[in-house]
Amino acid sequence: MSRNTVTEQLTKAGQAIEHSSFSIVDAEAGDKGGYTDEQWPLVRRMIHATADFEFNGLTEFHPDAMQAGLEAIAAGAPIVADVEMICVGLSQPRLSHFGVQTHQFISDEDVIKTAKAQGTTRAVQAMRKAHRLGLLDGAIVGVGNAPTALLEVLRLINEEGVKPALIVGMPVGFVSAEESKDQVAAQQYIPWVITRGRKGGSTLVVAAIHAMLALAEGREKNI
């Protein structure tokens, strides 16, 4: 079986450590939460990134999530993130292999100005700006920090007909984080991957997308 080259660690030593870590996760995870063969690599990488086995169970998938994400990556669809941390955390060589570009607008001056003027959050205005720029339709939307970004994406879907390819909704925190993810999962129109409850974070979104990139490269090799 051929191994990925673009989405692997760059050195043999790094690859060996990562593969050993994945093997340990597999061994300690037990029943693997009933996830499918395509879903488990994503959950495993999230556990690997956090050393938190609770994500084996807290992570939930829309039935079409993996297919939607892999097709979006293969098509070079953009990734729209709520915060810069996600864009920085994603491997540029891996993204470039598929022609995928990342976008975030949380610190743009116009976003900050409008948020102050309208009494909203920067995250809300950042998603509205992404919509104005035509970036949300067909995109992978990654939210790891701001529940209000996730709620705004849902509003844009419901009220303005926006249609992302996939929502990776994993905001962390105590105010609206859990509720925003519950609302994403309550709709079945747009595929999603979420973490239930308060746990989440940008690290998890990065891990999830890296897992999808690896799976997408594997698909290329099998064509």
Q: Supply the residues annotated as catalytic.
A: 48
Q: In whole angstroms, what is the distance from residue 32 CA to residue 38 CA?
A: 12
Alpha helices in 5-59 (DSSP H): 12-29, 39-50, 55-58
DSSP H or E stretch at residue 214: helix 202-222
Contacts of 22 (CB under 8 A, 6+ apart): 44, 45, 48
Q: In whole angstroms, what is the distance from residue 194 CA to residue 58 CA?
A: 8
Residue 61: strand pairing partners: 193
Contact 149, 171 (CB under 8 A): yes
Q: In whole angstroms, what is the distance from residue 146 CA to residue 164 CA?
A: 18
Query: What is the sign, positive or negative, of the torsion defined by CA atoms of 127, 52, 67, 193?
Result: negative
